[in-house]
Structure 1
Amino acid sequence: MKRKASLVAAILFTGKLLLAQSVDDAKRLIYYERFKSARDMLQGIVSSTPNNADAVYYLGQALIGLEDIAGAKKVYQDGLAANPGAAILHVGLGHVYYFENKPNDAKAEFEGAITATGGKNPMVLNAIAHATADTKTGDFKYGVEKAKQAIDVAKKKVEADYYVNLGDNYRSLIMGGDAKQAFDAALTINPKLAEAKYKAGKIYETQNNKEIFLPLYEEATQLDPNYGPAWRALYVYWYFRDVTKAETYFESYVKASDQDERLEYDRIDLKYAQEKYDDAISSANALAAKLGAGTKARLYRLLGYAFMKKNDLASAKSNFMTFLQKAKPDEVTSRNYADIAKTLGGIAGNEKDAFQYYQKAIDTDTLPKNKSDLAKQAADLAKKLGDPLLSIEWMGKAYNLAKNPSNVDLYNLGRAYLDAGKFTQCDSIGNMYSAKYPNHTYGYYLRALANWRVDTTMELGSANPYFQKLIEVGSPDSLNNKSQLKLAYRYFVGYYATVKRDYPTAITYCDKILNLFPGDADATDLKTKLQAPAPGPKKTTGNKGTSAANNPTIESNAGSNTVAEAKTNNPGTKTTTSKSAAAKKQ
């Protein structure tokens, strides 16, 4: 009997060792982000031992890794129904609540677990730190606090993973220096921990410091060639820069990964990067048919871009709209919204819908320059649609969104008002410009045009002081300002010939044009007419329209009216170093 009892005890002991080893194997798979393999392994363990809280916890973690939040929630709720005192399962459920944007419920679960364990269980504290860092809605300061407590409680038995979770929370707080120290501490405990080296690289990638993060990713693959996330990070980096090099990293990533749906998504992505758009579309549609309602949003985004590349904007729109319907808010980037706007802007009858997506792109972006550039794109679309008032609205947004608006931004806003027939506002912008850049011609140019458009007969001379100031400021650098100077001189030809009847002075302005543009046909013809025998008595104002020189539309003979038509009318295109040039951004 004693021998039999000993044999039974030995079998049970061996079974426990095997079970423990299986859970440890599953944990290792989760570390490698091979969530499908971990899920399959843990489902078998939980099925045979449903009260094994550690196995249930890690099964939920594997499902979270697979983005099956609903599945993870059910696992934890079922586990707590069978084992309500399992503190670690309360932490798992709190982790799920973060994904459901229920931070208060999450905190309640965490605090309940801490109370149940007297705050002395480092695994529970570490799991809380992991949960906070794993979501965008986590309380990262709370996560730092719990990670430090886990380290203090564990004392000499502290695991490298505790420092990794501490570093993750610091990284979420944008405390890169503290995060790097934590990851270095993890490597001190386990020098082969590729995860710590990889996550140190992520710090520098957010700073766009490739001289540091790329070597760190490479070092991570050398520490542990089976650590897939580092291979994928290298693949993604080169995906946008060198597709051939990206393919090499992708092959290593495949070897270190589960052959699951995520990998199928990445294979299709690579076809897109290789510009095999038909293959990418065909493969994506096949995968969508296979997955049905479970198809991830990113696949429809890829289809949208592939159809964009083929200039099939209708199909691109259809897939982009499906992407938006299925995507979580944090899955849609500013660039996605902007490209959806461009797609709609290129489809007849859909152009007006583009503007809401330009606004979403602006709201989603974080850089003032990007926001301003997006508003300019919207303004360009409005201009293309022949809607000057809408163009003004977006040009105004572009100017206000710019962190440091340039002279070009201010000029373009004034030009938009002019083109929309808002002459008072144009004059106001011109005044702002000339006050801010008194040695540039463009503020006076805007004011001159705005006043001329109102005083079309030149009888009031409203534009005179501004054209005169333009000449004063622009003449020292006549070569770079000759288009505007020609317009000013042409204005004064008309003014002196038709309003003042001072032909000699009008002729001097013809000569000024000819000095800048020798042989200019318009100036030559006007000069010839003005040198003809003097006409009879001065005509009444109502008959001035018969004079060749009395034409307010002569502006169009002296240079283009719009920024798009003539580079010389755009302060952003000049390259001169003269103080009178507006090319220099202030």
Structure 2
Amino acid sequence: MKELMKRAWSGGLMLLFFIAAATLAVAQELPVVKQARQQIEIEQTNKAVATLTEAVKANPADASLLYYLGEAQIANGEKEKAEISFQKGLEVNAKEALNLAGKGHLRMLENNVAEAKTLLDQALAQTKSKNPAVLKAVANAYLANDKFTNDALTLLQKAKSINSSDYETFILLGDAYTKLVKGGDAVSAFETAASLDPKGGTPQYKIGVVYQRSKNLTSAEEHFNKAIAADPNYALAYKELGELYYAQKKAPDAVKAYEKYLALTERPEPAKLRFAFFLFMAKDYKRANAIFDELLKRPDVSPTVYKYAAYAAVESGDLEKSEKLFEQYFAKAPQTEIQASDYVYVAKMYQKQTKDSLAIINFKKSLELEKNPEIAATVADAFYKQKKYPEAIDAYKQLRGIKTKLTATELFALGKAYYFNKQFNEADTTFGQLIEAQPAITTGYAWRAKSVANLDPELKQGLAKPYFDKVVEIGEANPDKGKPDLIEAYSYLGYYYDTKGDFAAAKATFEKLKAIDPTNEKSKAYLEALKQAKAQQKKPKPTN
């Protein structure tokens, strides 16, 4: 009996020893695995693969290292090599369930859900769902398919119950909560991960992403900067800062952040086009053009590259180059992908070449795709400047249909288009609207007066008088601002009073005209005629 108890006690001690050893193993991540993980986190996946390849060579009997190598190869875009690594891991140790989870991860990525599920269930069954590393590996595989996010969450919560101080568990938990759009839970998980590894940039970066998705850009920026403070080489934080600044139209900041990202990532090529956009927004067309020229040499160059290369060429004034690029873009781009902005840039190119008619044609093409008030206004303004008044009137009507209410500047141009097209009633109405928009300045009153004056050329009805009276009222209070309108008002009113026989009022008005415009021929002629008439005691005749 004593011997039995002794053996039981001895076995209990041995069991406690294994439990303690297992707990220690769970709590500590192999340095080489941690190093590779950090390399993957900062987009140094080639280095991660190299790190783990060396580790496998040094420890050929450790099948778990082959799992981590396979995962690094997946991150590096080498799925076929990952398959080989996982298979080799199973050959080294068939009981190492991590490699089953790795194979399941690959099947998930291939959307072969049935086989993936079989492999992942096998990994869990083999470890009786008690191995935190396997629980995390299976959860990671599940996170590759949004339909299995809740399954991943369940496994991660179990892993957490076994070891509540594992950094990677909380990173994966945060990822799961992020997928489930549970921002608060995600941030809490990532904050715990940050407390477990203060020198890691990933938790703060991922918190920044959560805030970025919820449009809280201030907090997103704060946490991206915290990620960089924790790890100055954390490439993805610079990338997202660049995107954040780009969205806020902070072009210099976006360029600076993206330059840092490109210097750190092992794969700058996919991001070069995006960087060219940032340079374009920053109006650094020389550098943007250099990148576009490089991208245009590729055999698989996309229509998008032709398009933005053409945009940049327009902005930098290389119009011959831009014209050729636009030809290539329109030849290669599917019709459904051509945007209104494309025709706008073509129009800008023609404007810079003073080919205004071609510019208008392309502005109109842009409007056919998108009823943009700014472009509609550009078209109307172009017609007006070309003195094509009927076309300008139609264009302003179209603009009014897009934005319902014209600006004072647009009303003024439309009114003048009607005026010069001899549509005086329409001009009268339009200048009336301008007066409503700007009642404290003389312009609307003066042009409304001129419009109705053409409907009353003999001054019989005095249609223009009320509006010229208003010009005088406003203009005399500030003669320097509305002087041309005031001159025209005095001239009209002087003759108006003369036709009505009110020579005193006419004289006083022409004297005011002379006072603000001493060289005015009309005032000089009238006052001289009045002087001569007085000398002859007869009515002076107005001089036209």
Structures share fold, TM-score greater than 0.5: yes
2:265 is paired with a residue whose SS is coil
Match of 1:93 in 2: none
Whole-angstrom CA distance in 1 between matches of 2:173 and 2:398: 47
| Contact 1:148 1:166 survives alignment (8 Å) | no
Whole-angstrom CA distance in 1 between matches of 2:511 and 2:118: 91
The one-letter amino acid paired with 2:190 is L
Match of 2:163 in 1: none
> CA 1:333–1:278 in structure 2 vs 1: closer, same or farther (change >3 Å)?
same
Q: Which moved more, 1:41-50 or 1:304-313?
A: 41-50
Equivalent runs, 1:413-428 vs 2, <5 Å = 413-428=414-429
Match of 1:471 in 2: 472
Q: Deviation of residue 342 (structure 1)?
A: 1.9
| Contact 2:208 2:221 survives alignment (8 Å) | no
> CA 1:44–1:519 in structure 2 vs 1: closer, same or farther (change >3 Å)?
same
1:86-128 CA-to-partner distances (Å, cap 9, x unmatched) read: 5799xxxxxxxxxxxxxxxxxxxxxxxxxxxxxxx97687545
> CA 1:297–1:237 in structure 2 vs 1: closer, same or farther (change >3 Å)?
farther
Query: Is 1:43 equivalent to 2:80 in the alignment?
Result: yes
Match of 2:188 among 185, 188, 195: 185
Q: Deviation of residue 439 (structure 1)?
A: 5.0
> CA 1:266–1:476 in structure 2 vs 1: closer, same or farther (change >3 Å)?
closer
Q: Deviation of residue 513 (structure 1)?
A: 1.6
1:345-382 CA-to-partner distances (Å, cap 9, x unmatched) read: 3342522332235537855xxxxxxx544433332222
Match of 1:528 in 2: 528
Match of 1:452 in 2: 453
1:61-107 CA-to-partner distances (Å, cap 9, x unmatched) read: xxxxxxxxxxxxxxx4xx75xx7655799xxxxxxxxxxxxxxxxxx
Equivalent runs, 1:337-352 vs 2, <5 Å = 338-347=344-353, 348=355, 349-352=357-360
2:533 is paired with a residue whose SS is coil
1:222 is paired with a residue whose SS is helix
The one-letter amino acid paired with 2:222 is P
What percentage of residue pairs aligned between the two structures are identical? 18
| Contact 1:265 1:299 survives alignment (8 Å) | yes
Q: Deviation of residue 323 (structure 1)?
A: 4.5
> CA 1:262–1:403 in structure 2 vs 1: closer, same or farther (change >3 Å)?
farther
Query: Is 1:195 equivalent to 2:205 in the alignment?
Result: yes
2:532 is paired with a residue whose SS is coil
> CA 1:406–1:307 in structure 2 vs 1: closer, same or farther (change >3 Å)?
closer
| Contact 1:362 1:374 survives alignment (8 Å) | no
Query: Is 1:355 equivalent to 2:356 in the alignment?
Result: no
Q: Deviation of residue 416 (structure 1)?
A: 4.1
2:191 is paired with a residue whose SS is helix
> CA 1:84–1:165 in structure 2 vs 1: closer, same or farther (change >3 Å)?
closer
Flag the structure with more relative contact order, 1 or 2, with Cα contacts below 8 A and sequence separation at least 6: 1
Equivalent runs, 1:227-238 vs 2, <5 Å = 227-235=234-242
Rg comparison, structure with higher value: 2
Match of 1:20 among 67, 74, 77: 67
The one-letter amino acid paired with 1:482 is K
Q: Deviation of residue 295 (structure 1)?
A: 1.2
> CA 1:260–1:315 in structure 2 vs 1: closer, same or farther (change >3 Å)?
same
> CA 1:451–1:394 in structure 2 vs 1: closer, same or farther (change >3 Å)?
same
Match of 2:12 in 1: none
Equivalent runs, 1:44-443 vs 2, <5 Å = 44-46=81-83, 52-58=103-109, 76=110, 80=112, 86=116, 126-127=143-144, 129=146, 151=153, 155-157=157-159, 160-161=171-172, 163-164=174-175, 167=178, 179=183, 181=184, 183-191=186-194, 192-200=202-210, 202=212, 212-235=219-242, 249-259=257-267, 261-265=269-273, 281=289, 284-289=292-297, 291-292=298-299, 294-320=300-326, 322-323=328-329, 338-347=344-353, 348=355, 349-356=357-364, 358-359=366-367, 363=371, 372-396=373-397, 398=399, 407-435=408-436, 439-443=440-444
The one-letter amino acid paired with 2:393 is I
Match of 2:131 in 1: none
Q: Which moved more, 1:347-356 or 1:430-439?
A: 430-439
Give the TM-score taking structure 2 as reference length. Answer: 0.62
| Contact 1:235 1:249 survives alignment (8 Å) | yes
Give the TM-score taking structure 1 as reference length. Answer: 0.59
The one-letter amino acid paired with 2:292 is A
1:498-542 CA-to-partner distances (Å, cap 9, x unmatched) read: x44654433222122233334545433443234333799999xxx
Q: Deviation of residue 307 (structure 1)?
A: 1.8
> CA 1:193–1:329 in structure 2 vs 1: closer, same or farther (change >3 Å)?
farther
Match of 2:51 in 1: none
1:252 is paired with a residue whose SS is helix
Whole-angstrom CA distance in 1 between matches of 2:505 and 2:539: 16
Q: Deviation of residue 318 (structure 1)?
A: 3.5
| Contact 1:232 1:249 survives alignment (8 Å) | yes
- RMSD of aligned Cα (Å): 4.8
> CA 1:282–1:124 in structure 2 vs 1: closer, same or farther (change >3 Å)?
closer
Whole-angstrom CA distance in 2 between matches of 1:481 and 1:162: 70
Whole-angstrom CA distance in 2 between matches of 1:390 and 1:159: 66
> CA 1:189–1:151 in structure 2 vs 1: closer, same or farther (change >3 Å)?
farther
1:262-312 CA-to-partner distances (Å, cap 9, x unmatched) read: 2454676688789886675465334323x22x2134432342133224423
1:295 is paired with a residue whose SS is coil
Match of 1:490 in 2: 491
Match of 1:507 in 2: 507
> CA 1:203–1:259 in structure 2 vs 1: closer, same or farther (change >3 Å)?
closer
Whole-angstrom CA distance in 2 between matches of 1:325 and 1:48: 46
The one-letter amino acid paired with 2:105 is D
Whole-angstrom CA distance in 2 between matches of 1:268 and 1:503: 73
Q: Deviation of residue 480 (structure 1)?
A: 3.2
Whole-angstrom CA distance in 2 between matches of 1:484 and 1:461: 18
Q: Deviation of residue 402 (structure 1)?
A: 5.3
1:525-561 CA-to-partner distances (Å, cap 9, x unmatched) read: 443234333799999xxxxxx9642xxxxxxxxxxxx
Whole-angstrom CA distance in 1 between matches of 2:118 and 2:144: 8
Q: Deviation of residue 473 (structure 1)?
A: 4.8
> CA 1:196–1:329 in structure 2 vs 1: closer, same or farther (change >3 Å)?
farther
Whole-angstrom CA distance in 1 between matches of 2:531 and 2:450: 28
> CA 1:253–1:529 in structure 2 vs 1: closer, same or farther (change >3 Å)?
same
| Contact 2:208 2:222 survives alignment (8 Å) | no
1:395-446 CA-to-partner distances (Å, cap 9, x unmatched) read: 4455565598654554444344334443222222233344566555444334
> CA 1:123–1:408 in structure 2 vs 1: closer, same or farther (change >3 Å)?
same
Q: Deviation of residue 186 (structure 1)?
A: 4.1
> CA 1:246–1:195 in structure 2 vs 1: closer, same or farther (change >3 Å)?
closer
> CA 1:416–1:53 in structure 2 vs 1: closer, same or farther (change >3 Å)?
farther
> CA 1:55–1:451 in structure 2 vs 1: closer, same or farther (change >3 Å)?
same
> CA 1:502–1:335 in structure 2 vs 1: closer, same or farther (change >3 Å)?
same
The one-letter amino acid paired with 1:195 is Y
